[in-house]
A and B are shown apart, each in its own frame.
Chain A
Amino acid sequence: MMKALSAFALTGAFLLSMSPSQAADPLTDPQIAHAAYTADNLDIDYAKIALEKTKNAEVRQFAELMIKDHTAANEAALALVKKLGVTPQDNPFSQTLAKNGEAKKAELRGLSGAAFDRAYAQNEHAYHDVVVITVVEQWIPTIQNAEFKKFMTDANEIFKVHLAHAKHMVDSIK
């Protein structure tokens, strides 16, 4: 968990405020479900800001895709937790995500033009990079429910495709 959280900090997208003891505890399945849902919603929010601000066709297309894919992922996740009878549980990881996500949204709202496009693209690249690392190294190994583990494994394929797409976007709008 510490490695993933450090990666979040290194990207500049997240400033962490969790204590070591909090960070050392692996998340439970309901906590991971909550954190994943929070992360999805954050990326949807970033995309909505992009659609308000950008005039770049590639950035717009990417933002539209983020809304579409993360909304679909959230709907599938909600259907699964309902089927499993699990209630997503708020936790320090989700709270840190949300808190630092608000800071990133404020930063993005303060930018415009090419500076916004670059910042949005770089954040999407860094964000998905850290999400993939977190899901692979921290969440999937600790998830207890087999069906939920498969769901997160499938969801991570989405994030990997988004990561490659974001990398392409960063390179093309330098």
Chain B
Amino acid sequence: MIASRLAALTVVIGLASLGVGSAAVRAKTVEVTIEHFAFTPANVEVAAGDTIVFVNNDIVPHTATATDNSWTTGEIAHGASARVTLPQKAGADFFCKLHPVMKGHLTIAPPK
């Protein structure tokens, strides 16, 4: 057991030193809750390549859609969730296409 774990660790370290999978290591997943017709948090700190999981706790369907249409979740039903992996040129402002009063903003970290 210990030997196999050490072997796996060695492979991971080896790949990391070669830069393989480094983007995947840096990318993170952030959860945004949709409740009471609001995104929480409404200001999301992310970087290109990160994934945002939108969880809809409202009764009605919602979307999270970039105002420049560079990304969207599509409709998320009551109790469902949708994942968006941010493209390199992701629009920062987003809203619910069905209920435009709902708005959010991404603070996108510059590429390293």
Q: Is A69 an interface residue (CB 8 A)?
A: yes
Q: Are B60 and A72 in contact (CB under 8 A)?
A: yes
Beta-carbon contact of B59 and A76 below 8 Å: yes
- Minimum CB distance partner of A76 in chain B: B59
Q: How many residues of A contact B (CB 8 A)?
A: 15
Q: Which of B36, B37, B78, B101 contacts A76 (CB 8 A)?
A: B78
List chain A residues, Cβ under 8 A from B37. 157-158, 161
CB atoms of A65 and B59 under 8 A apart: no
Q: Interface majority SS on B: helix, strand, loop or mixed?
A: loop
Check A68–B60 contact: CB distance below 8 A: yes
A9-56: which have CB < 8 Å to B? none
Query: Nearest CB to that of B35 among chain A residues?
Result: A154
Does chain A have a CB within 8 A of B58? yes
Number of interface residues of B (CB under 8 A): 11
* A97 CA / B98 CA spacing, docked (Å): 27
The reply to whether B101 and A73 form a contact with Cβ atoms under 8 Å apart is: no
Given contacts A157-B36, A157-B37, A161-B37, contact A73 B98 (CB under 8 A): no
Shortest beta-carbon distance from A128 to chain B in Å: 14
- Rounded to whole Å, the gap between the CB of B74 and the closest CB of chain A is 13
A155 within 8 A of B: yes
**Chain B positions within 8 Å of A157 at CB level:** 36-37, 58
Pairwise interchain contact B58-A154, C-beta atoms closer than 8 A: yes
**A158 with B60: CB separation less than 8 A:** yes
Cα distance, A106 to B58, chains bound together (Å): 33
Known A-B contacts A76-B78, A157-B36, A161-B37; the reply to A68 vs B98 at CB < 8 A is yes
Chain A residues packing against B (C-beta within 8 Å): 65, 68-69, 72-73, 75-76, 151, 154-155, 157-158, 161, 164-165
Can you sample 22 A-B contacts with CB below 8 Å?
A65-B98, A68-B60, A69-B60, A69-B98, A72-B61, A72-B77, A72-B78, A73-B60, A75-B78, A76-B59, A76-B78, A154-B36, A154-B58, A155-B59, A157-B36, A157-B37, A158-B37, A158-B59, A158-B60, A161-B101, A164-B101, A165-B99
Additional pairs, 5, CB under 8 Å, beyond known A72-B77, A76-B78: A68-B61, A73-B60, A157-B36, A158-B37, A158-B60
B residues in contact (CB < 8 Å) with A:
36-37, 58-61, 77-78, 98-99, 101
